[in-house]
Structure formats: C-alpha cells, structure tokens
Amino acid sequence: MSAKDMFYGAGHEFSRAEARAYAREDLIYNVTEDVLFQMEQMSVTKQELARRLGKSRSYVTQLLSGARNMTLGSLADICFALDIEPQVRFHCSGDEEVVEGVVGTPVWTANESEMLNKDIQVLGTNVLDRRDPGHWERVA
C-alpha cells in the first residue's frame, strides 16, 4: 500500500505516461528535499548557497523547487558547495538487493591471464595496480 491509494481510487492504474511523470517528479522532489534538509542542518541559506555557486538566489530557488531542471552537473556543484558527497543507488523494482554503481554494467570478473602477471598488484577486491614496483625501486 502506498500514499497513492489516498489520492487515487483503489486499483487505479497509472498510464505509462503518468507513471513516468510520477517517477520523474518523485526523484526531483526527494533529491531537492534531501538537499534542502542538508542545508537546514548546516544553516546554509539559499542566498549563501547562491553566493558559493556564483549564481543568483532565484536560480537556486528554482533548482530546489524543481521549477528548473537540475542536471547531474548542477547537483554535483551544489554538493561541492555544501561539502557533502552524494551517493546514487539503483535497484530494480521488486528487488530487495540494492546495486550501487552504474546500472546495467556487467559484473566485473578477474581475467585469469592478467592475474598471472607478477607485476600486477591486487588492491582490494576489484582494483588492479599495473605499476611496475621495480621501476620505482630503481628511481628511488
């Protein structure tokens, strides 16, 4: 059950266009609300954020009200100005497990032949460091 049931009849089916509009507005609302909450926690006003961004207050107001389309670039700029790090998570409808990172990317698997190269160091679980340690020993 969701809040939709309070404003639409039980069994009301969204058309594809309406479902898409809902999904778009839902993301915009929740992202802007999260940003606004961070600003309130930090006591950063829209005026101050505008100053940090080098933009007008109305630009910030429009972005945070959803009236102006927020690009990933402008969201990144806002997060940088607030010194906060955004995290993006995707998951398929109905899935319990949340996938972090880029959706649709094939699962990374190690290449066996690469792993046999003695100069490769494995850092963590999925980072390969191809630097030649001997090179750095020579120049040190």
Give the footprint of other proteins on this chain (CB under 8 A).
1-12, 18, 21-22, 25-26, 29-30, 33-34, 36-37, 40
Tell me how far, at minimum, the Cβ of 100 lies from other proteins, in Å.
19
Q: What is the torsional sign of CA 18, 9, 3, 36?
A: positive
Do 64 and 36 touch, CB atoms closer than 8 A? yes
Q: Name 129's Cβ contacts closer than 8 Å, sequence gap at least 6.
A: 120, 121, 122, 123
Q: How many CA within 13 A on the CB side of residue 121?
A: 7
CB of 80 to other proteins, least distance (A): 21
